[in-house]
Amino acid sequence: MAYLFTSESVSEGHPDKVADQISDALLDNFLAFDPESKVACETLVTTGQVVLAGEVKSNTYLDVQNIARDVINKIGYTKGEYKFSGDSCGVISLIHEQSQDINQGVDRANKEEQGAGDQGMMFGYATKETENYMPLALDISHKILIELAALRREDSAIKYLRPDA
C-alpha cells in the first residue's frame, strides 16, 4: 500500500533552533575553558527576549549573555525590524551553580558508580536512502533550508528572506 511521507525542517532562525544553538555555544565555551565542566542549561527564546537557565559546575567564568548575543547575531538577527536582534534583545541569566546533591550523584571516581544528572529519550534511525544515512524526506528538507540560508546571506536581491525562513 502506497502512502505519503513528509518531513519538516525548521530554519536556523526558528526559536527552537536559536535556543539550541545558544545552549550548544554555552556548553562549547565552558568545555573549551574547563574540560571538566558539568553543564545542564536550557534556553528560552521569544520576541525580544532570551532566558538562560540551568546548572553549571565549572572552574571558569563566562559572559553567557554576550555568548548568547553573538549566536543571535551570527544567525542573522541583526536588525531591529526583525523584532529580535542580538544587539538589543534582553538576555536574562538564571544559571546557577550545580547543586551538591546532583554533583554527588554524577561526579564519581569509579565510572561504574557514576549516575546521570538528567534523563532523556531519543528516537532515530539510519537508512540507506541517502549518503548521510538520514531519511530522504528529512535530508531534502534540510538541504532546502541550507540553500535558503545561503541565499539570504549572499543575495541582496532576496531581501525579504529572514533567519526564520
Alpha-carbon span 69 to 22, nearest angstrom: 9
CATH of 15-118, one of 3.40.50.1370, 3.40.630.30, 3.30.300.10, 3.40.50.300: 3.30.300.10
130-161 tens-digit pLDDT? 999 988 988 999 999 999 989 988 877 788 88
- What value does the mean pLDDT take over residues 118-128? 73
Nearest alpha-carbon partner for 42 in 123, 118, 129, 154: 118
Q: What backbone torsions phi and psi does residue 39 show, to the nearest 5 degrees? A: -130, 125
Nearest alpha-carbon partner for 90 in 48, 55, 119: 48
Q: Please identify which residue in the block is written with the cell numbers 557514576.
A: 114
pLDDT at 68: 98
83-101 tens-digit pLDDT? 899 999 999 999 999 766 6
Q: Is the dihedral of CA 103, 105, 106, 111 positive or negative?
A: positive
pLDDT at 100: 67
Asked if 59 and 38 count as a contact pair (C-beta separation under 8 A), the reply is no
Name the pairing type of β-strands 90-97 and 49-57: parallel
* CA dist list (Å): 82 to 85, 88, 89, 112, 150: 7, 11, 11, 50, 18
Asked if 26 and 52 count as a contact pair (C-beta separation under 8 A), the reply is yes
Asked if 77 and 163 count as a contact pair (C-beta separation under 8 A), the reply is yes
Where exactly are the structural domains of the chain? 15-118, 121-165
Residues 24-48: b if buried by 16+ CB within 10 A, e if exposed: ebbeebbeeebeebbbbbebebeee
